[in-house]
């Protein structure tokens, strides 16, 4: 079976990234820095041989995909399956607000268990299943091709954990910068959890831009 290559991109920066808010499914646009990151990413991707471009349907992902689509002369297909994890009632909030308004949910979240979900939200296990199914669908439909996938940080975390065999418990461990370049390969569309990482968190195209806001789940853990 032909190997399918996926170039995975986390969307560019938003104001809520800068404020370290839980964005989830809320449709937040890129800020000025995010648009510049997307422009540079488009130039970086201009030399790639890509046959298909698919994006999360959320605005921040589509706006990130737009310059690349222009460079590659491809239409942007969209899908809800590539959305960020659903954080339910805490979407739009910062950690401090969640601690105040939903203290029990916050304490449970700090355990980073795969079956925990914020109220009305999606657990890591549910989220992981959705993302792996989405990758399998892409690989099946575009077997042997190179596909550009513009999505979200949590999605890339699910990919990293799967490729490294880390499981879903515990805080995020990989670097996932806004508009970073990541390349993976799927040798078998029927086994989309067998992922080979080729490149990860490459931000050379963003080198002279200001430092990005860093979302580190481990910073919340008690010492």
- Catalytic residue, from 5, 13, 84, 91: name it: 84
For residue 223, what pLDDT is reported?
Answer: 42
Question: Which residue is listed with tokens 């607000």?
Answer: 97
For residue 214, what pLDDT is reported?
Answer: 75
Residue 47: Cβ within 10 Å count: 8
Produce one character per residue of 169-181: b if its CB has 16 or more CB atoms within 10 Å, e if not: ebebebebbbbbb
Active site residue 11: yes
For the record, the structure tokens of 129 come out as 């299943």
* pLDDT 10s digits, 94-103: 999 999 999 9
Q: How far apart (Å, rounded) are the C-alpha atoms in residues 114 and 131?
A: 14
**Which candidate, 61, 50, 66, 54, places its Cα nearest to that of 137?**
54
* pLDDT 10s digits, 125-167: 999 999 999 999 999 999 999 999 999 999 999 999 999 999 9
For the record, the structure tokens of 158 come out as 């699910």
Q: What architecture does CATH give domain 4-203?
A: 3-Layer(aba) Sandwich (3.40)
* pLDDT 10s digits, 16-38: 999 999 999 999 999 999 999 99
For residue 219, what pLDDT is reported?
Answer: 62
- Catalytic residue, from 11, 102, 142, 205: name it: 11
For residue 221, what pLDDT is reported?
Answer: 53
For residues 44-49, give the mean pLDDT: 95
**Which candidate, 111, 110, 91, places its Cα nearest to that of 101?**
91
pLDDT reading at 9 higher than 60: yes
* pLDDT 10s digits, 55-98: 999 999 999 999 999 999 999 999 999 999 999 999 999 999 99
**Which candidate, 128, 102, 103, 106, places its Cα nearest to that of 115?**
128
Q: Would you say 55 and 151 are in contact if contact means Cβ atoms under 8 Å apart?
A: yes
For the record, the structure tokens of 100 come out as 């105040």
Residue 19: Cβ within 10 Å count: 11
CA torsion 143→144→146→152, rounded to 10°?
40
Active site residue 84: yes
């Amino acid at each position: 079976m032909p190997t399918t290559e996926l170039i995975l991109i986390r969307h560019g920066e938003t104001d809520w990234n800068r404020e370290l808010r839980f964005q989830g499914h809320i449709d937040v646009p890129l800020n000025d820095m995010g648009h510049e990151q997307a422009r540079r990413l488009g130039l970086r991707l201009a030399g790639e041989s890509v046959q298909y471009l698919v994006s999360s349907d959320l605005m921040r992902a589509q706006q990130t995909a737009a310059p690349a689509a222009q460079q590659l002369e491809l239409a942007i297909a969209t899908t809800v399956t590539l959305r960020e994890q659903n954080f339910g009632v805490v979407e739009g909030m910062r950690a401090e607000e969640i601690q105040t308004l939903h203290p029990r949910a916050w304490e449970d979240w700090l355990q980073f268990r795969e079956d925990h979900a914020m109220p009305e939200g999606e657990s890591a296990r549910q989220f992981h299943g959705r993302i792996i199914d989405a990758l399998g669908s892409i690989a099946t439909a575009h077997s042997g091709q190179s596909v550009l996938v513009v999505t979200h940080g949590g999605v890339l975390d699910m990919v990293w954990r799967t490729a490294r065999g880390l499981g879903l418990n515990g805080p995020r461990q990989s670097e996932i910068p806004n508009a970073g370049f990541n390349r993976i390969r799927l040798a078998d569309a029927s086994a989309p959890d067998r992922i080979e990482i080729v490149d990860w968190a490459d931000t050379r195209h963003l080198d002279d831009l200001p430092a990005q806001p860093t979302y580190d789940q481990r910073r919340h853990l008690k010492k």
